[in-house]
Amino acid sequence: MGIISVLLIVQVNHLSSKKETRETANPFMNSLILKLNYLKSKAIKDGKPITLIFNHYSNKITVKEPSIENNDIKLPDHSFIYPQTNINYLTFDNKGNTNKFGTVYISVNKVIYKVVFHIEKGRMRYEKRKIKASILIDSMLSFTIMIAMCNLLLPMILQLNYSFKNKLDYINMKRVMLLTLKHNDQKDLNKGVKIADYEIKLDNYKICIKSKDYLNEKCYYK
């Protein structure tokens, strides 16, 4: 039952991930990444740095290049630079590298996307920002997986622990019995000898050892 639960959860996660990938794709954001990559390539080709300026709530990305007036990148209607953005500007140098790393958040028709800039080789990517509900669902799914795994593994661990304890008790009982046979004669054994937590007794047919709580007992027949 636990395995089935895990498989079902994994399948739901897989389908959810595919759906999220489809929803994340946005024509404008795809176009924006292409434009940013073009500006990076232009900085390499011309050997001149190009700076991008991100002003909070602005509906455009300002483009600055030495001695050249560039067209700014305009955002669609009802779109703006979201104030959670943590970089005000970013520069592509003549090798295509960026001078800093960070994230620019852009609200496009009330959907927030984030463009992540990596400092090495001017790499960038965008993705749809996860909303709280999505994070909550992911947390609940993770918690459910943990519960399912516990339900599956805990009985096995307990059984192994129980078997291991029984083995140890059995070995200890044999050790105590051998010591008792070595240091006691038959008369003492017939009366019963108590050692530590065990009692050993011999009769005409068998010799038995049992714990004081009577939970464990082992007999050897003649």
Q: What is the pLDDT of residue 80?
A: 94
Q: What is the pLDDT of residue 14?
A: 45
Q: What is the pLDDT of residue 128?
A: 82
| Concatenated DSSP letters of the chain | -HHHHHHHHHHHHHHHHHHHHHHH--HHHHHHHHHHHHHHHHHHHHT--EEEE--TT-SEEEEEBTTB-PPPEEPPTTEEE-TT---SEEEE-TTS-BS--EEEEEEETTEEEEEEEPSSTT-EEEEEPPPHHHHHHHHHHHHHHHHHHHHHHHHHHHHHHHHHHHHHHHHHHHHHHHHHHHH--HHHHHH-EEETTEEEEE-SSEEEEEETTSS-EEEEE-
The arrangement of strands across the sheet holding 206-211 comes to 193-195, 198-202, 206-211, 217-221
Contact 201, 189 (CB under 8 A): yes
In tens digits, the chain (222 residues) has pLDDT values of: 444 444 444 444 444 444 444 445 688 889 999 999 999 999 999 999 999 999 999 999 999 988 888 789 999 998 999 998 999 999 998 888 888 889 999 999 888 999 998 876 778 888 887 655 445 566 777 788 888 888 888 888 888 887 888 788 888 888 888 888 888 888 888 888 888 778 888 887 888 888 877 677 888 876
Q: What is the pLDDT of residue 22?
A: 42
**How confident is the model over 54-89, as pLDDT tens digits?**
999 999 999 998 888 878 999 999 899 999 899 999
Q: What is the mean pLDDT of the chain?
A: 80
Q: What is the pLDDT of residue 138?
A: 62
Q: What is the pLDDT of residue 131?
A: 52
**How confident is the model over 171-180, as pLDDT tens digits?**
888 888 888 8
Q: What is the pLDDT of residue 21?
A: 41
